[in-house]
Amino acid sequence: MFIKTMPTVLAILPEGFEEIEAVTPIDLLRRAGVEVTTAALADDTPVTGRTGITVRADTTLARVAGNTYDLLFLPGGPGVKHLRADPRVAALVKAQAAAGRWLAAICAAPTVLNDAGLLAGRRHTAHFSVAAELPARLADERVVIDGKIITSRGAGTALDFGLALVGQLISPEKSREIHASICA
């Protein structure tokens, strides 16, 4: 008998993450039944976002670094500088891509994918604040999917982004169901 397991997602939360960009997609994925693990980039699970909201992550990146996930999710905000500076994140991004698994980044976080050499020749979007680094970004697109990479612009597109993640990991029907249930 074949038992289908739900997809798994690792969401990495650095200090200074953009709360809307992290919590909204995580919420939508969990509503869809996806197993989402939130991991603090630092060594303690309380992580404070850019507006001072503290979230208790499920674990730390150090504790789950060897695990495999169907999707690696990077929220944006000022904390992206911590994601970019951490060699573990770069290694995870590259391993995820090499294995043909999903990568998702919103706001300034697509720069992490770019640092790993993954956006060259791919359609993508990002926040206008990183336009100089990502001049080929599709500035008018709310969410862009190219292969196994999903990018989005910022806090105002987090709902669209989260629904797109559900649509890709579960099904377009599930995304529409959640869209209706939250009156989006």
Phi-psi region of 166 (alpha: psi -120 to 50; beta: other; left: phi over 0): alpha
Q: Are strands 149-152 and 143-146 parallel, antiparallel or unpaired?
A: antiparallel
CB atoms inside a 10 Å sphere around CB 111: 23
Which among 107, 118, 165, 166 is annotated as catalytic?
107
Quote the DSSP letter at residue 142: S
Active site (annotated) includes residue 183: no
Strands (E), the chain: 8-13, 35-40, 46-48, 54-56, 59-60, 71-74, 102-106, 143-146, 149-152
Catalytic site positions: 107
